[in-house]
Structure 1
């Protein structure tokens, strides 16, 4: 439902020159989620892009602050970008439906973005050092009309409710959301030969036609010929699974300094597959983090982690779930997790979720995925989470092996 913009009046602090003068674009901490963009007519709009593919409903709530001018000025209500129809088409094809706001009657300084909330999750927020600045909010829901029409059907509604009830007992991670198949096509599952059956072990990420990356502790001390990788995997209860392929490992590789020590300083491993995978809509490699990307000075990156780990009730899962997490600095991690200081090193990375959601037992080896230049990149590997009885204590942070600190070793061991 569109919400009419509400004009806000301010006292003029300087000469209001209109859009003919170049406008100052404020900084923000929302990363690839938001960008200021200039249109062909010279006006500047703010464009919001979800960090995940495949969302069919977008419930945005964003907040800006701004210096005053002598004119009534607003942040408009949101609309689909570049228009609603094209936004819906992206959503239906499994992509990301974008939204935008326009800035009306501002002088030479655009509003500053200080908060973004999407589907009930706060992705970024910041205070504004400039005191007594009014807040300007834009709220919008964007739902695919085709999905909305289906939900009017009693049969579809019953299926949706049944699905929601089932997820309460068989979630994939502690919190998060079940992902649609193909959303993360590099996601795969590692299995061990357990005599008459294959036993699920860890999560892997496909990085080439012959190579997957996982945690070293998932493969250390195990015979390569006893390991299998299921690429394109989604439903763990189905075998064989259409569109997925089970491939035997031909070799495994771990850094020379890794010797099974529980400290996740070098807990990264490579599994070389016996045969090449065939790329499809459900099987694609993830981009590797590169040295050219650099490391943020204060971290704060938002990322995603996906896998088939135990849920908050220690129940095994059938379908993968994804959880959004924020990377924190090593100093903050050490301060908040003093009992884990022996496991937090310059080669590890910490990330957490304000709702205490995140990877748990069975999610080891999964990739911490961070968006860079419109593409998901593999930044770190799930290594260690604090325990609380049979499940994980996710009130603080999960510790990851930082891929950015092992690039030379990884690149030299990948088989294309």
Structure 2
């Protein structure tokens, strides 16, 4: 009996071992990017190793997009420097290429297929994703070093950790979709605007880890999370995903960038933000940058945020430099489309068919990074609900503002003396209508009170609804 029990236990363990073996992936999926990407096993875990071969680039943004069959329920880790952070950065300083990897965990039959590789915005390899049911995963990594690069030694060797390359999948399991492989460009765009040197003024994508946008994230005016504290005015990240920060580049050297926060902007399409004309009047596109997805202004870079370059500056033709809120509206067209996600999404633009009147039951708010009650710039955006009033009521309270109030302006205030102040110029007056936020006004003027603002008075806004024809002619979608 004892020998029989032992034999049965041995047989059970053997069968269990066979089950484990068959549960593991049997090989690598089709890999059209095999010149720069390999599937391997490292320390007992499955990895995907990316080596784009961009030697001499010391500021690099890498993106990998994977497609998984619907029957698989594994996970792709965040992208990390390969083989580790210290070694990877030493390689970059020595003039070698940045490398990265991801872990593949809990895949039982088939690893995800790599369907796109981007380096600094350039797509260097593509393939078709799996047909439905399937899912995609996007992983991003930003790596940068400061200082002068060393000259790459011609005979240098770099020690790499031992990895075991995975064999290809058996032919009967290998799908055969058509693929398209693009050759790598000879030189990738580089540059982090918060480092001392930069070689490009193209948008600098500084997203580190991002998931693919959901259908909701591509819709306008959909609000994100809201804080539950009563009386608080801090904006939780993603509540107003159209909120963006405008920076001026104060360095005249075309190879360097020095950014200074200037105003608030509002994303109204994939390539256009709206702001106050006085924030951008007389500026060239090279002097401006827009930080979409911005939240913590002390972080450079900020995760899931993107610093965008500007292609064109467009101010209303009636605005000629004198600060008049009647036409204080401008648009900035970005050089590239933003990437929508939980923290980047446009607000809805007022339309000609939308009722002009704002009902008292509708929520109206304004948000930005302006100074607080202690005259200090805020680290995170704050918001406050305001109440629009008629032009007549505004005139009664602000007789001295009569030259600034026209049928193309709006007034709004807060009974507690809260509202936008210095640094909040260009922010949107937002109206919540039918569960969608719409931009109705642009922060323009407030009554000055020493080094602050007298918010017991009304703030004057440029009325977006009175300039829809000009906006529609100039917005780029």
Aligned match of 1:216: 277
Residue 252 (structure 1) aligned with residue 319 (structure 2): no
Structure 1 residue 300: Cα displacement: 7.7
Equivalences for residues 184-203 of structure 1 within 5 A: 184-195=240-251, 196-203=257-264
Equivalences for residues 112-151 of structure 1 within 5 A: 119=230
Structure with more contact order per residue of length (Cα contacts < 8 Å, sep ≥ 6): 1
Residues 1:297 and 1:382: Cα distance change in structure 2 (over 3 Å): closer
Aligned match of 1:54: 225
Residues 1:327 and 1:204: Cα distance change in structure 2 (over 3 Å): same
Structure 1 residue 267: Cα displacement: 0.3
Aligned match of 1:178: 234
Separation of aligned partners in 1, 2:326 and 2:289: 25
- SS at 2:473 equivalent: helix
Aligned match of 1:145: none
- SS at 1:339 equivalent: helix
Aligned match of 2:466: 405
Separation of aligned partners in 1, 2:306 and 2:359: 40
Are the aligned partners of 2:365 and 2:385 in contact in 1 as well (CA < 8 Å)? yes
Residue 265 (structure 1) aligned with residue 326 (structure 2): yes
Residue 374 (structure 1) aligned with residue 435 (structure 2): yes
Are the aligned partners of 1:302 and 1:327 in contact in 2 as well (CA < 8 Å)? no
Give the alignment partner of residue 282 of structure 1, picking from 328, 340, 343.
Answer: 343
Task: In structure 1, list runs of 5 or more residues that go unmatched.
Answer: 1-50, 59-118, 121-175
Deviations for 1:42-63, whole angstroms, at most 9, x for unmatched residues?
xxxxxxxxx97534537xxxxx
Separation of aligned partners in 2, 1:308 and 1:218: 14
Separation of aligned partners in 2, 1:264 and 1:300: 26
Aligned match of 1:344: 405
Structure 1 residue 313: Cα displacement: 1.6
Residues 1:178 and 1:295: Cα distance change in structure 2 (over 3 Å): same
| The structure with more radius of gyration | 2
After TM superposition, what 4+ stretches of structure 1 lie above 6 angstroms from structure 2? 297-300
Equivalences for residues 223-372 of structure 1 within 5 A: 223-296=284-357, 301-372=362-433
Are the aligned partners of 2:281 and 2:315 in contact in 1 as well (CA < 8 Å)? yes
Q: TM-score, normalised by structure 1?
A: 0.58
Aligned match of 2:91: none
Structure 1 residue 389: Cα displacement: 0.1
Deviations for 1:203-231, whole angstroms, at most 9, x for unmatched residues?
00001111000000000011111100000
Separation of aligned partners in 1, 2:301 and 2:223: 28
Separation of aligned partners in 1, 2:273 and 2:224: 22
Are the aligned partners of 1:299 and 1:328 in contact in 2 as well (CA < 8 Å)? no
Separation of aligned partners in 1, 2:359 and 2:435: 21
Deviations for 1:89-137, whole angstroms, at most 9, x for unmatched residues?
xxxxxxxxxxxxxxxxxxxxxxxxxxxxxx46xxxxxxxxxxxxxxxxx
Task: In structure 2, list runs of 5 or more residues that go unmatched.
Answer: 1-221, 252-256
